[in-house]
Amino acid sequence: MSRAPLTDEAQARALHELIASWATTWDPATLLGVEHAASADDKGHYHWLIRLRGEEKDVVTVWLSLRQRSVVVETQVTPAPEIDPQSVYQYCLTKNAQMRELHFALGPEAGIYLLCHVPAGELDQARLDELVGASLHYADESFVTLMTLGFGDLYRRRRK
């Protein structure tokens, strides 16, 4: 058996059950919801959206995509920076050296994303919890800095 065998509908059902079970362990004040597309997209990928309440960023959405051999964990942190993109990218590259598993990447339309690929067979409840928790933590922790660097005076921090 290879480390990352091809995924199929059975793997998608197993992942759906894993996510449903995992979701019951989170505080409903933090976990706002889980959505799942029951069928594969045109590329054969299955998708889940996990919405979480952040402290600095109101809502952090974690996308899970079951692909051919892996689960991709993806979170948009900010849109593309409008000012001083070099400072934003320098912050992201510096922060990447401190982070575990997830890393900053440019996503669609040059947005700033957190990203991770996990072999499909290696995702269990503890690892899912770690990755979703890290996505929430890193997105929340970096949001104000990235918005301030990338949007300057256009960004007004919400005061609690």
CATH of the domain at 50: 3.30.1460.10
Whether residue 6 has pLDDT greater than 80:
no
The number of distinct structural domains making up the chain is 1
- Answer whether residue 62 is part of any domain: yes
Contact predicate 125/133, CB 8 Å = no
List, for residues 26-44, the tens digit of each pLDDT value: 999 999 999 998 888 998 8
Distance of CA 38 to the CA centre of its chain: 20
Structure pTM? 0.90
How many other CB atoms are found less than 10 A from the CB of residue 158?
Answer: 9
- Answer whether residue 77 is part of any domain: yes
Distances (CA, A) of 119 to 48, 66, 86, 94: 16, 10, 32, 26
- Answer whether residue 2 is part of any domain: no
- Answer whether residue 4 is part of any domain: no
Residues 6+ apart with CB under 8 A from 33: 50, 51
Phi/psi region, residue 55 (left: phi>0; alpha: psi -120 to 50; beta: rest), is alpha
Whether residue 114 has pLDDT greater than 50:
yes
d(CA 2, CA 77): 34
- Answer whether residue 67 is part of any domain: yes
- Answer whether residue 159 is part of any domain: no
> Domain span at residue 51?
9-154
